Amino acid sequence: MRRSVAWVIGLGLALAGLALSVYYWDRVPDPMPTHWNWRGEVDGWGPRTLGLLLMPGLAVLFMGLLPLADRLGETPEDRAANAAPARAYIVGLVGFLALMHALTVRAALHPPDYRLPVELLLPLLGALLVLTGWLFPQLAPNRWMGIRLRSTLGSERVWRATHRYAGVLYTVCGLVLAICPALGGERAVLITAGAVFVAIIVLPLHYAWLSARDEQVGR
């Protein structure tokens, strides 16, 4: 993604979230719901100012990371390879925050239960995983973004292999998470979502270890 395009889209999304807050400011209760359990039931409240400005504020902070996208990597070639996908990912994160903000505002406008629609939240989280899966195989070695372990940073071959594997894994897990609400039954959804989050943390670490071991054996 070109630098100018990233700024326009990212700032547009961040400002859209802020505009949503301003538009509904007087209709949102104070205090407002700010935290929900896995069923979408409110279990935390906070000041309206915090609830309506937190996500847009985080989106603006993420936009502040855009200049760093040009500095990811130890060599000019790696920095050039990382810049465009890193910008796209940052903009994707800003879009994720904007949509999350829209869901929280929607929940705050629907008393008396103020339920957060988990059936919409899970596909949104799944889309974030798919975006991460798209990013991983494109990343050249760097110390700021990706699966940064001693084994991956110490070997470009291990880095590439681990990120190709993680890219497929995150994409598949994101699609599974997106269809979770269609499974029916809270237990099935909870088990599936839990398995997804364990898999995306544990399996890439295990694969990196295996790749590093195989490289050492082959020397």
Contact 44, 34 (CB under 8 A): yes
* Model pLDDT, residue 152: 95
Q: What is the pTM of this model?
A: 0.92
The pLDDT value recorded for residue 83 is 95
Q: What is the pLDDT of residue 218?
A: 65
* pLDDT, position 59: 96
Report the SS3 class of residue 42. Answer: strand
Q: Which residues contact 29 (CB under 8 A, 6 or more apart)?
A: 48, 108, 111
Residue 193, Cα to own-chain centre: how many angstroms?
15
Query: Based on the number of CB atoms within 10 Å of its own CB, is 54 exposed (0-12), middle (13-18) or buried (19 or more)?
Result: middle
Collect the ranges in the chain with pLDDT lower than 70.
218-219
**For residues 143 and 153, is the Cβ–Cβ distance under 8 A?**
yes
- What is the per-residue pLDDT for 77? 93
Tokens of 148: 């940064």
Q: Nearest to residue 41, comparing CAs of 121, 125, 129?
A: 121
| pLDDT for res 219 | 56
Please report the pLDDT score of residue 217 as a whole number.
79
Predicted pLDDT of residue 216: 84
| Burial of residue 70, with CB atoms counted within 10 A of its CB: 0-12 exposed, 13-18 middle, 19 or more buried | middle
Q: Record the tokens describing residue 173, joined without a space.
A: 């897990």
pLDDT for the residue numbered 183: 81
